[in-house]
């Protein structure tokens, strides 16, 4: 006897539009946006328009039951009961249909997860943009160090004198953290042994402001050791500028 296999149940974007009393193109755009975020998947297909005489082929998107809940939750959550009724009518095993609360609780969780991923991606892109901007600024080659600027060698000594931070901690803030100040430019090293190399210089006021903010955000672990979200592990710090009489 020949065995019959049924394909997974699917709902078209046009059926969703009819269910929600909304425009078909709006439903398709929503499905496309959710698919770009990897929240849902769809399969393009073609249906014949049911608008009477002169009907023409119409491109539709097919989504499975799970993804239909996500699409409706995004578009019109007030029509959730209609969607549950739809699947009860179109499936042979109504006992497997989730309740309205279960189905849309899962759908809203998925949408919230997608928003969190977008926010994390935006934060990463902002950090990349800031780093690119610092690099582009640093491409300006100056013939001499501007007044009120300093190299990493000089600022290490000055910041150590103010806050008692080690070279490793200072370098981590200056070179690896998103709060690092932008270079004032690159200065050509005129020493013969330097062979035309350059070094970065920073405005003193920018460096001071960064480390004032950094030290205020530090959390004390002991009298001498501190932590900061931007720095791995513990580090020493002494606010010498506050210890002076």
How high is the pLDDT of residue 169?
93
pLDDT higher than 80, residue 230: yes
How high is the pLDDT of residue 95?
44
Which of the residue ranges 1-5, 104-108, 191-195, 227-231 has the most confident prediction, judged by mean pLDDT?
227-231
Strands 225-228 and 231-236: antiparallel
What is the spatial distance between Cα 172 and Cα 138, in angstroms, rounded to a whole number?
Answer: 18
pLDDT higher than 90, residue 139: no
CA 201 to chain centre: 31
The rounded percent of the chain whose pLDDT value lies above 70 is 64
- Let me know: does 198 contact 189? Beta carbons within 8 Å: yes
How high is the pLDDT of residue 114?
65
pLDDT higher than 70, residue 241: no
* Nearest one of 174, 168, 160 to 233, comparing CA atoms: 168
How high is the pLDDT of residue 150?
93
Q: What is the average pLDDT score of the chain? A: 76
How high is the pLDDT of residue 244?
45
How high is the pLDDT of residue 91?
64
71-91: buried (b, 16+ CB within 10 Å) or exposed (e) per residue?
bbbbbbeebbeebbebbeeee
Query: What is the strand order of the sheet 149-151 is part of?
Result: 141-142, 185-188, 198-203, 149-151
Please enumerate in sequence order all residues whose Cβ is within 8 A of that of 5, keeping only pairs 6 or more positions apart, or say none: none
The two counts, helices (H) then strands (E), for the chain are 9, 10
Average pLDDT over residues 29-54: 78
pLDDT higher than 50, residue 115: yes
| pLDDT single digits (tens) 62-74 | 988 888 888 888 8
What is the spatial distance between Cα 71 and Cα 40, in angstroms, rounded to a whole number?
Answer: 8
How high is the pLDDT of residue 242?
47
What is the spatial distance between Cα 227 and Cα 116, in angstroms, rounded to a whole number?
Answer: 26
Q: What is the band of 28 on the pLDDT scale with cuts at 50, 70, 90?
A: very high
Q: What residues are paired with 64 via a beta bridge? A: 10
What is the spatial distance between Cα 87 and Cα 66, in angstroms, rounded to a whole number?
Answer: 11
How high is the pLDDT of residue 1?
34
| pLDDT single digits (tens) 176-222 | 888 888 888 888 776 656 566 788 889 999 999 999 999 999 999 88
**Would you state the structure tokens that stand for residue 24, as one six-digit string?**
């078909």
Looking at per-residue confidence, does 198 or 114 come out higher?
A: 198
How high is the pLDDT of residue 145?
82
């Amino acid at each position: 006897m020949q065995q019959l296999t049924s394909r997974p149940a699917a709902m078209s974007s046009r059926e969703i539009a009819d269910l929600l009393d909304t425009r078909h193109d709006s439903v398709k755009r929503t499905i496309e946006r959710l698919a770009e975020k990897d929240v849902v998947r769809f399969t393009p297909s073609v249906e014949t328009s049911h608008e009477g005489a002169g009907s023409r082929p119409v491109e539709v998107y097919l989504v499975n039951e799970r993804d239909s809940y996500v699409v409706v939750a995004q578009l019109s959550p007030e029509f959730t009961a209609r969607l549950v009724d739809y699947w009860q009518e179109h499936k042979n095993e109504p006992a497997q249909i989730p309740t309205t609360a279960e189905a849309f609780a899962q759908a809203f969780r998925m949408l919230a997860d997608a928003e969190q991923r977008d926010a994390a991606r935006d934060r990463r892109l902002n950090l990349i943009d800031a780093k690119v901007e610092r690099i582009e600024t640093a491409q300006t080659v100056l013939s001499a160090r501007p007044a009120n600027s300093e190299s990493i060698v000089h600022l290490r000594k000055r910041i150590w004198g103010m806050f008692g931070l080690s070279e490793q901690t200072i370098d981590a803030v200056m070179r690896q953290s998103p709060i690092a100040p932008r270079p004032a430019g690159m200065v050509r090293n005129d020493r013969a042994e330097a062979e035309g190399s350059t070094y970065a210089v920073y405005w003193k006021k920018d460096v001071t402001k960064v480390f004032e903010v950094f030290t205020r955000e530090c959390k004390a672990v002991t009298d001498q050791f501190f932590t900061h979200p931007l720095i791995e592990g513990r580090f020493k710090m002494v606010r010498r500028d506050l210890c002076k009489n």
